[in-house]
């Protein structure tokens, strides 16, 4: 008979086997960067969702995290991470839309430092607690409006945006270092696509469209 502890500590839906199935699926669906897959294999995604949803944490799906927001689909987290990393190691990455902190936790293990901006205070507070619990200390959080980026600490070698707007915020383009990479969804309603924007050494930008995606909107202003 299975003990109570086993039920609660990962013999069930959060077990290593369940996680391994997710990794297998991400791999089959085109995620090739083994560093990214290894990090996702290790991170307990069930700690980033409400307990009532923990049994679904290793499905390849977005899930609600309150305040009308969602934790991104693991495939999307993996894809955006590998796109950011594809040209070599990154020392400073700006993230817009901390949300649950899951993408933040993945990045924290792949780059030197992450600067993460979130407009909803309660989400930010919870994300902070989760990263502390996982001893991820190379992340700095800011409660603010992602449309403005984080000017004081710019430029960044990588920028990742996990909410969608009709256009790329100008501040984010300005804060991308020459040689830097930005991964950002752009569009409206059903018509959104993922863009990889590379800032060339001469300061110009090259945009690579990377297919249809679905994100929650990038809204305006901080919210207590």
Between residues 146 and 180, which has the closer beta carbon with respect to ligand SAH? Answer: 146
Task: List 95's β-bridge partners, or say none.
Answer: 116, 160
Say whether 72 is catalytic.
yes
Among 85, 92, 146, 185, binds ligand SAH (CB under 6 A): 146
Among 108, 120, 168, 182, binds ligand SAH (CB under 6 A): 120
Judged by CB under 6 A, does residue 192 bind ligand SAH? no
**# residues near ligand SAH by CB under 6 A:** 23
- Give dist(CA 224, CA 209) in Å, integer: 34
Among 37, 93, 123, 197, binds ligand SAH (CB under 6 A): 123
Judged by CB under 6 A, does residue 219 bind ligand SAH? yes
Task: Please provide residue 128's backbone torsions phi and psi, each rounded to the nearest 5 degrees.
Answer: -55, -45
CB 188 within 8 A of CB 41: no
**Helices 34-42 & 74-85 angle (0-180, nearest 10):** 140
Residues of this chain, 61-100, that bind ligand SAH according to CB under 6 A:
69-72, 96-97, 99-100
Q: For ligand SAH, which residue has the nearest CB?
A: 99
Q: Shortest Cβ distance from residue 151 to ligand SAH (Å)? A: 14
- Give dist(CA 78, CA 56) in Å, integer: 18
Task: Please provide residue 136's backbone torsions phi and psi, each rounded to the nearest 5 degrees.
Answer: -95, 110
Among 74, 145, 185, 197, binds ligand SAH (CB under 6 A): 145
Judged by CB under 6 A, does residue 103 bind ligand SAH? yes
Task: Show the 3-state SS of 45-111.
Answer: HHHHCCHHHHHHCCCCCCEEEECCEEECCHHHHHHHHHHHHCCCCCCEEEEECCCCCHHHHHHHCCC
State the residues that interact with ligand SAH by CB under 6 A: 69-72, 96-97, 99-100, 102-103, 117-120, 123, 145-147, 162-163, 216, 218-219
Kindly list the catalytic residues.
Answer: 72
């Amino acid at each position: 008979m299975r003990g109570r502890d086993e039920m609660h500590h990962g013999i069930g839906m959060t077990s290593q086997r369940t996680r391994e199935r997710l990794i297998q699926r991400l791999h089959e669906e085109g995620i090739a960067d083994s560093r990214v897959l290894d990090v996702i294999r290790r991170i307990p995604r069930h700690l980033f969702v409400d307990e009532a949803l923990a049994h679904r944490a290793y499905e390849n799906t977005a899930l609600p995290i309150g305040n009308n927001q969602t934790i991104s689909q693991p495939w999307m987290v993996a894809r955006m991470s590998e796109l950011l990393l594809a040209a070599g190691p990154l020392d400073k990455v700006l993230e817009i839309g901390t949300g649950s902190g899951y993408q933040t936790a993945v990045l924290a293990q792949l780059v030197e430092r992450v600067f993460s901006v979130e407009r909803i205070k309660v989400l930010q507070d919870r994300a902070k607690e989760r990263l502390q619990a996982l001893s991820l200390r190379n992340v700095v959080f800011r409660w603010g409006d992602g449309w403005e980026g984080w000017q004081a600490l710019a430029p960044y070698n990588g920028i990742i945006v996990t909410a969608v707007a009709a256009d790329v915020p100008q501040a984010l383009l300005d804060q991308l270092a020459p040689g830097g990479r930005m991964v950002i969804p752009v569009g409206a309603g059903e018509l959104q696509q993922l863009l990889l924007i590379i800032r060339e050494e001469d300061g110009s930008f090259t945009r690579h469209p990377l297919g249809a995606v679905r994100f929650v909107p990038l809204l305006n202003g901080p919210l207590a």
